[in-house]
Structure formats: C-alpha cells, structure tokens
C-alpha cells in the first residue's frame, strides 16, 4: 500500500478518540514518513511511537492528535512547542495555525535540531522555527504565546512556561516520572490558572533547569 493510502487509513482510525475533523484533516496532510528515520519508514503509519535516536521518540499519531485537539489550534495563533524531536508534531500544528500563524519549537539535543530542521524543510513547513535551547525556561524572545505544547514529561509545570502563556491561552503538558498524566492548563483573563487532568500517558522525560535533572548535560 502507498504511504498516502496508509496515512488515510491511520487517520480514519483516530476518529475513535473523538478528534475534531480539523485536526484529522491536518494529519491527513502531513507526511509522517518524512519525520521518521529511514530504517523505520515502513512503520510510519502504524499508530505507535518510533525511535528517532538519542533515546528519544516521535510520539504516536493518536497522542499528537489528542494534544492538538486539546489545544484548540486556530489559524494565526503563535505556538511554543517544547521538545521538537522529529518535527512531526510541529508540522501538524503548523498546518492548523496556517501561514498566518507561527510555531516556535525548542529542542535541547543538537542532532535532533538538525534532524527536525531538515525534515520540516523537506516537508515544506516554513512557518516553524526550531531553536536549540533548554525549553524548561521557555523561549522568552517571542513570548507571550497563545498556546504551549510540551511533548516531554515534566516533574511539575515550569513557572517560566506559565509566565509566557497569554491570558486566555492554553497549554498541554505531561507531568510525572514513571506514572505520568497529561494536563490541560488554561490561563484565565485574570491570569489565574485552571488545571485539568486528561489521563495517563507515556513520554520521555523533560530534562533541564526546571525539569528533571539526571546529572547530565548534552
């Protein structure tokens, strides 16, 4: 089966998670096989995470769909992603915010910054900027953001990310070490925070100054 047909089949199966048509249509457009290392290309349209090297993974398609759905992404929004990895989630978000919007994506491992940049270029996503930095500090240069998407699991919500979220903005973030939960956070107009648990998930750890510290620097 051709990649396009496999992709259509995979995206069709995601509707059972209650994902909006808007998100499903965006995922129908993004060629996930361009974000997967060549050796795993034939598994690109299985609903599973895959290794991208350096002990990191590209998230399973259903997880990307769930996060994008919770974020209620719209055309023209400015989004901060922490944990670029392959660049795939950034590409799906880029489809959703369109050419009027922009994605700033922070990654701490240099080889993955290069991998993501070349994947995004090949797939034609010019509205994503990939930054090499510790994302637990956010990316103050372009703050505040309409949306923040954290794709690695944190010990708690980094204060810098809350500070850089606009009033009325939404953030999704997995928290926990062995047992993790995904949270949807809303910053209300008066800057107070609403935090809602979505459910159990499995992500690689968020490592950094306001994240887990396993005693190693890249």
Which chain residues interact with ligand SAH by CB under 6 A?
Answer: 56-59, 82-83, 85-86, 88-89, 106-109, 112, 134-136, 151-152, 204, 206-208, 211
| Residue 2: partners with Cβ closer than 8 Å, 6 or more residues away | none
Please report how close the Cβ of residue 30 comes to ligand SAH at its closest, in angstroms.
10
Please report how close the Cβ of residue 188 comes to ligand SAH at its closest, in angstroms.
26
Q: Which candidate in 59, 86, 105, 153 is catalytic?
A: 59
Token pair 């270029």: residue: 121
Please report how close the Cβ of residue 139 comes to ligand SAH at its closest, in angstroms.
10
Among this protein's residues, is 51 annotated catalytic?
A: no
Residue 89 near residue 67, CB atoms below 8 Å: yes
The candidate with the shortest Cα–Cα distance to 65, out of 13, 103, 117, is 13
Question: Between residues 61 and 101, which has the closer beta carbon with respect to ligand SAH?
Answer: 61
Q: Which alpha helices (H) appear in the chain, and where do they start and end?
A: 3-14, 21-29, 61-71, 88-97, 110-123, 159-163
Question: Between residues 131 and 184, which has the closer beta carbon with respect to ligand SAH?
Answer: 131
Active site residues: 59
């Amino acid at each position: 089966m051709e990649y396009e047909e496999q992709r259509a089949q995979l995206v069709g199966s995601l509707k059972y998670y209650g994902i909006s048509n808007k998100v499903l249509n965006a995922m129908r457009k993004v060629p996930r096989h361009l974000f997967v290392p060549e050796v795993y290309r034939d598994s690109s349209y299985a609903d599973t995470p895959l290794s991208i090297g350096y002990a990191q993974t590209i998230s399973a398609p259903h997880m990307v769909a769930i996060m994008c759905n919770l974020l209620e992404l719209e055309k023209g929004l400015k989004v901060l992603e922490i944990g670029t990895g392959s660049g795939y989630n950034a590409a799906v978000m880029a489809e959703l915010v369109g050419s009027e919007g922009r994605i700033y994506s922070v990654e701490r491992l240099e080889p993955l910054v290069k991998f993501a940049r070349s994947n995004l270029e090949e797939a034609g996503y010019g509205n994503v900027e990939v930054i090499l930095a510790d994302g637990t500090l956010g990316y103050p240069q372009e703050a505040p953001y309409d949306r923040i998407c954290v794709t690695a699991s944190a010990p708690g919500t980094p204060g810098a990310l809350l500070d850089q979220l606009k009033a009325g903005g939404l953030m999704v973030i997995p928290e926990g070490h062995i047992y993790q939960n995904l949270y949807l956070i809303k910053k209300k107009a008066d800057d107070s925070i609403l935090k809602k648990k979505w459910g159990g998930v499995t992500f690689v750890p968020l490592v950094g100054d306001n994240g887990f510290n396993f005693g190693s620097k890249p």
